[in-house]
Structure 1
Amino acid sequence: MSFIVVQAIAGLASAASLFLIAVGLSIVFGVTRVVNFAHGSLYMLGAYVAYSLSTVIGHSFLGYLAAMLAAAIIVGSFGALMETSLLRRIYRAPELFQLLATFGVVLVVQDFTSILWGPDDRFASRMPGLDGSVTLMGHALPAYDFFMIAIAFLVLGGLWLLFHRTRFGVLVRAATEDREMVAALGIDQRWLFTGTFILGAMLAGLGGALQIPRQAASLAMDLNIIVDAFVVVVIGGMGSIMGAFVAAVLVSELLAFGVVILPEITLVLVFLVMAVTLILKPSGLFGRPEFTKGEDRRNFDPPIRAERGLVRAFWLGVLALGLLSPLLVGEFTIVVLTEIAILALFAASLHFLIWGGGLISFGHAAYFGLGAYGSGLAVFHLSLGMEPALLLAPVAGAGGALLFGWFCVRLSGIYMAMLTLAFAQIAWSAAFQWISFTGGDNGILGVWPSEWASEPIVFYYLSFGVCAGVIWGLRHAVFSPFGYTLRATRDSALRSAAIGVDVTRHRWLAFTLAGAAAGMAGGFFAF
């Protein structure tokens, strides 16, 4: 019994930290619909700012607490600058553009942080008054863990009061439900969005500041936390405060007990829970399905037309350059050109999915990996040659896409993107931990081209020819009747369904086709 209680408290302490960053992300997305990949950067900034302030005023409990709160306010100010200068201009942009823009902020903040604080980890002192331990059932637990749990409950209660007892909170809840109606009532959404983003940034900054007595501030904090935060938000339901809290507790407790009971599953446990949740309840545990009142104009793209004139001449020039360049360069450059051709096919397969079908996938690399492992395992375990192994690559990629896509295409937006990520992480975990079959992190060794293709220039022309052919095939698919129907489902799923188009089936087929192309690229990459 004591073991269960101790592990549960340890899980609650981790949940407190995860909740603080996830709830801010959930609130921001619920109102603005922006997929803010830079939310982890705000968390990291909070840790670094709190570290600096704690060295100056953190010599007592109240001083340390003041340093944490001041860090949250400073990060909130940075969030206001970020919202007014960048995000306000991309609210109506497609989700992928928002993601790329905020990822650019991640890179800027990382460089900025490295310049100010240096590349080394920064270790803060323990919080005065909470640097000891509490004995519970014969086990010593850090006193600071109980402080973290208390802060999480205080924040949860404060947010409930804010959103249920203030005018700002009522407007935020209304905007989460129906932004168009809020605008029709004369509410200035710009400042509502700014206020919401400041609140989310402050919560992220506070979450980072609270971490410094437990762990060092490092440049990897942002990317280490953002995926887990997205997972918690998606499991709980976008825009749901209670959902973020329950999901944070659920994930943290599963990890706390899973690492002891079944350590092998901890790498994939979080994503497995998210996948099951989205399959059974596509809008998350506490999320509400969005009822479409009309077509969102930002999803309408200009009609796709076949290349003509100068554009066609440009691509013919690229093709000629690809054919002639190996004759003019050295062996190392030929190897690099081979990788470029392979990665061009992989990028084209993802582009086909996003551009042609409007389907956002965060886990498309899984099919590249399935193709690579399909070829490598065929050579290593079945002793097949390069030719039949390469034929298995698109089959492996298409098989994975066929299986995963059956679940994914029934969702949309960020929920679909996160489910693709969950399946990709599950596939990665299987490859990483099944050492006897896949070689684990060492990979599969001894995968070489056939003797006739062993020369770099020969393998280049083989790769270039096949990759160029598959890319042309994807282009042809876009301008085929299937491609036109797929683009119709992208531009207006409701109208497509109204005229008898099976939207789910067309998206599933597009998913499978893109997976096969990515698998083909992975097969060549394995050699």
Structure 2
Amino acid sequence: MQLVFVQFMTGLASAASLFLVASGLSIIFGVTRIVNFAHGAFYMLGAYVAYTLTDRFTGAFGFWFALLAAAAIVAIVGCLLEMTLLRRIYQAPELFQLLATFGVTLMVQDLVLLIWGPEDLVGPRAPGLAGAVEIFGKRIPSYDLFLIALGPLVLAGLWLLFHRTRWGVLVRAATLDRSMVAALGINQKWLFTGVFGLGVFLAALGGALQIPRDAVNHGMDLRIIVEAFVVVVIGGLGSTTGAFVAAILVSQLNAFGILVLPKISLVLVFLVMAVVLVVRPWGLFGTRPPPAQASIGMAVRPWRPLAPGEIAVAAAVVAAVALMPLWLGHYALTVASEILIFVLFAASLHLLMSVGGLASFGHAAYFGLGAYGAAFAVKAAGLPMLAAIAAGPLLAALGAAIVGWFAVSLSGVYFAMLTLAFSQIVWSIAFQWVDVTGGDNGILGLWPDAFAASPAAFFWLTLAVVTPALVWLHMVIFSPFGYALRAVRDSELRAEAVGIDRRRVQWIAFVIAGTAAGLGGALFAFLKGSIFPDVMAIPTSVDGLVMVLLGGVETVLGPIVGAVVFKALAMWLISQTDYSKLVLGAVVVALVVAFPKGIVGTLADWRDRLMVRRRGGTTNDAEATADATAAEPPAGTMAPAPSPATAAGRTRP
């Protein structure tokens, strides 16, 4: 019983910092609609800056001043980031903002290593709170009791701020209806900056408060951002009370999970989140959101399939790529094979995001399931490589069918977070089911058969598998099914009025995307000769999102260009510098600002403007796009659904 009490108090203390971070994330998303992936980076910066300042300022006053000053400094950095970067892309789709903040996260990770080094740093004890208090025969650290008391105080302070001040009322109004706030003459720029600064201050303060309890390290950001997203979703977006209750729930699950259910301790939190999202998608304390249409696939222009001339160019490019083994070395061919695999991975996610309007935060799960499916086929069934590559997508398709059945009942950020929850569940199973998956030791010895043992032969095999898979995805996009999927994306009510079953169509698309990702995963297992749980972790899913957004949504070549640029740049930077993330993050941010519609989408805009200029017309975007796609409806509207025969034979939708 005493052990239970100690764990309970430890969980309450951990909940305080988690609540600070999650409440800041919830406030930022509620007003600005930014999926701020850099929030964990601000938490980490708060801890590192606080460590430095507490080393400079001594005594009780100096310690507490250092913590507040660290949070304030990081908040100022956050405000500068919002003014210089995020303001430029507020009109872009929400996930482009995710891409920008992901670039910032990469930069911060290497900046931390550059400034503070790779070693864990141990901060000082809090003056006056270094001892312990005996409660029920057990000694509870005084600092933990301080954190337990701090959580409700911060909650009360936020409630007063949002309910008893004019600024807080404006923030609440902007959360509900930003356009109405703008119509009343409120300067939204400074309102957004203030909200972003407050959210960053809370995150940095949460990190600063952790230095007497935990060592400061460069892995803090990813761990806390995942838990913060879980808390925000369980509690309800925009609800600080929900964030407080959910932070306690998550912290207690983490505290007791390792004692009561050690076999599923890693997956327990995500199981709870998945259940909450299925039963009450808007969270425990959230309110049901108004109906909204997806905007992920409406960012660039209406689509068209490749014209005959473009197909000939694509075939020539594939032929040129097939000749690469004649002049590339073994290492370069291995890199090229990996890029081809991730082209397929990005293209499968692109089907969901652009055509279906569904942003999956856990697509790596099916990539990993395909890899494990191939590994099981070799190790357990003794199948040859080609049969194992065919078996991998079957396991991925099964996983996608199960997850998709629940996920497609949701939309928007709730869909994204449910896919994240299921992805983490799959990762946790692979990590903890050691007898089957090998755990973090992985499954080794997955070498290609003799006919594909050389880098050149495996490259040709990869190209021979990936190319038909890409053609298949292209055919799906412009098939009658693809038109139905886009109809559901653009207007669920209209689609259902003409007899399209939204859930069935999106579920089939989810399974197709998961199967294609699994095929890439199966190839990846033989490329690496082994498979580990990390292949289906969050960073792999984020990489897929980055590839799609970087290339451009609603562009046929977007995922291909995005995957090639991102993977090639990442691998080249790793070989050239110890701070590859810093450079890669800066490049990602620069590309988001320079190419807000993605590389392919922006280049297509430039091409359209040039065509209009040559014809002596106007150069504004709207007319240029209208001129380039005269027969098409505006992006974001639903054209009349074509008949299957017409849709199959058209060269332009």
TM-score w.r.t. length of structure 2: 0.77
Answer yes or no: is the 8 Å Cα contact 2:15–2:248 preserved in 1: yes
Which residue is 2:7 aligned to?
7
- Tell me the SS of whatever aligns to 1:42: helix
- Is 243-252 or 424-433 further displaced after alignment? 424-433
**What corresponds to 1:208 in structure 2?**
207
User: What residue identity is the alignment partner of 1:497?
Assistant: E
State the alpha-carbon separation in 2 of the partners of residues 417 and 337 from structure 1. Answer: 30
* Paired AA for residue 238 in structure 1: L
Q: Which whole-Å CA distance do the structure 2 matches of 1:426 and 1:294 have between them? A: 29
Separation in 2, partners of 1:128, 1:457: 63
Gap regions ≥5 residues in structure 2? 527-653
Which residue pairs with 2:101 in the alignment?
A: 102
User: Structure 1: how far apart are the matches of 2:186 and 2:296?
Assistant: 21
Partner of residue 93, structure 1: 92
Q: Is the 8 A contact 2:45 2:74 kept in 1?
A: yes
Which residue does the alignment assign to 1:271? 270
In structure 2, relative to structure 1, the CA distance for the partners of 1:293 and 1:521 (3 Å cut) is: closer
- Aligned runs of 1:165-204 on 2, under 5 Å? 165-204=164-203
Q: 1:184 to 1:395 in 2, by over 3 A?
A: same
**CA drift at 1:28:** 0.8
- Cα–Cα, structure 1 residues 160 and 472, in superposed 2: closer, same or farther, change >3 Å? same
Code of the residue aligned with 1:393 in structure 2: it is G
Aligned pairs (5 A) from 1:328-339: 328-339=327-338
Determine helix, strand or coil for the equivalent of 1:141: strand
> Residues 218, 435 of structure 1: CA spacing in aligned structure 2 closer, same or farther, 3 A cutoff?
closer
1:410 is matched with 409
- In the TM superposition, what whole-angstrom CA distance separates every residue of 1:57-106 from its partner, at most 9, and x where no partner exists? 2x222221111111121122112111111222222322221111001111
| Residues 301, 491 of structure 1: 8 Å contact kept | no
Q: Which residue of 1 aligns with 2:18?
A: 18
**1:482 deviation in Å?**
0.9
SS in structure 2 at match of 1:134: strand
Corresponding residue for 1:370? 369
Contact between 2:297 and 2:355, CA under 8 Å: does it hold in 1? no
Percent identical residues = 58
Flag the 1:377–1:163 CA change in 2: closer, same or farther, 3 A: same
Classify the secondary structure of the residue corresponding to 1:267.
Answer: coil
* Correspondence list, 1:102-501, <5 A: 102-292=101-291, 299=298, 301-308=300-307, 311-312=310-311, 314-501=313-500
Contact in 2 for aligned 1:345/1:521 (Cα 8 Å): yes
**Which amino acid in 2 is paired with 1:145?**
D
Note the alpha carbon deviations across 1:273-332, whole angstroms, 9 max, x for none: 111110111111111121137886994541111234875455334201221111223334
Relative to 1, partners in 2 of residues 1:293 and 1:377: Cα closer, same or farther, differing over 3 Å? closer
In structure 2, relative to structure 1, the CA distance for the partners of 1:210 and 1:378 (3 Å cut) is: same
Kindly tell me: are residues 180 and 499 of structure 1, through their superposed partners in 2, closer, same or farther at Cα, counting changes over 3 Å?
farther
Partners of 1:92 and 1:298 within 8 A in 2: no
User: Quick one: distance in 2 between partners of 1:395 and 1:294?
Assistant: 32
| Matched letter for residue 405 of structure 1 | G
Q: Decide whether the 8 Å contact of 1:93 with 1:298 is kept in 2.
A: no
- Equivalents in 2 of 1:298, 1:420: separation in Å? 18
Supply the distance in 1 between the matched residues of 2:137 and 2:82 (Cα, whole angstroms): 49
With over 3 angstroms needed to count, the CA separation of the structure-2 counterparts of 1:329 and 1:299, relative to structure 1, is: closer
- d(CA) in 2 for partners of 1:446, 1:6: 45
Rounded to whole Å, the distance in 2 between the matches of 1:171 and 1:288 is 18
Distance 1:526 1:110, change over 3 A: closer
What is the DSSP-based 3-state SS (H/G/I as helix, E as strand, rest coil) of the residue aligned with 2:133? strand
Please, which moves more after superposition, 324-333 or 98-107?
Answer: 324-333
Cα distance in 2 for partners of 1:457, 1:115 equals: 38
Q: In 2, Cα distance between the equivalents of 1:317 and 1:371? A: 30
DSSP 3-state at the match of 2:380: helix
Deviation at 1:426, TM superposition (A): 1.0
2:42 counterpart residue number: 42
Instruction: Give me the CA root mean square deviation.
Output: 2.0
- Stretch deviating more after TM superposition (446-455 or 471-480): 446-455
After alignment, is 439-448 or 27-36 more displaced? 439-448
Answer with 324-333 or 128-137: which moved more: 324-333
Matched positions, count? 526
In structure 2, distance between residues paired with 1:492 and 1:327: 50
Greater mean deviation of Cα atoms: 345-354 or 104-113: 104-113
Q: Does the residue aligned with 2:170 lie in a helix, a strand or coil?
A: helix
2-structure distance, mates of 1:478, 1:294: 20
Separation (CA, whole Å) in 2 of partners of 1:387 and 1:79:
50
Residue type of the partner of 2:95?
Answer: L
Structure 1 residues 130 and 152, CA, compared in 2 at 3 Å: closer, same or farther? same
Task: Assess if the C-alpha contact under 8 Å between 1:300 and 1:491 holds in 2.
Answer: no
Q: Report the secondary structure of 1:218's partner residue.
A: coil
Deviates more, 1:368-377 or 1:433-442: 433-442
Whether contact under 8 Å (1:45, 1:208) holds in the other structure is yes
- Contact preservation (8 Å) 1:357, 1:510: yes
Cα deviation, residue 234, structure 1: 0.8
Seen in structure 2, the aligned counterparts of structure 1 residues 184 and 295 have a Cα distance that, compared at 3 Å, is farther
Distance apart, 1:119 and its partner CA:
3.3
Measure, in 2, the Cα distance between the counterparts of 1:397 and 1:297: 24
Alpha-carbon offset, residue 387 of structure 1: 2.9
> Normalized against structure 1, the TM-score is what?
0.95
Q: Distance in 2 between matches of 1:307 and 1:7?
A: 60
2:82 maps to 1:83 = yes
Q: Distance in 2 between matches of 1:30 and 1:331?
A: 50
Q: Which residue of 2 aligns with 1:27?
A: 27
Distance 1:142 1:295, change over 3 A: closer
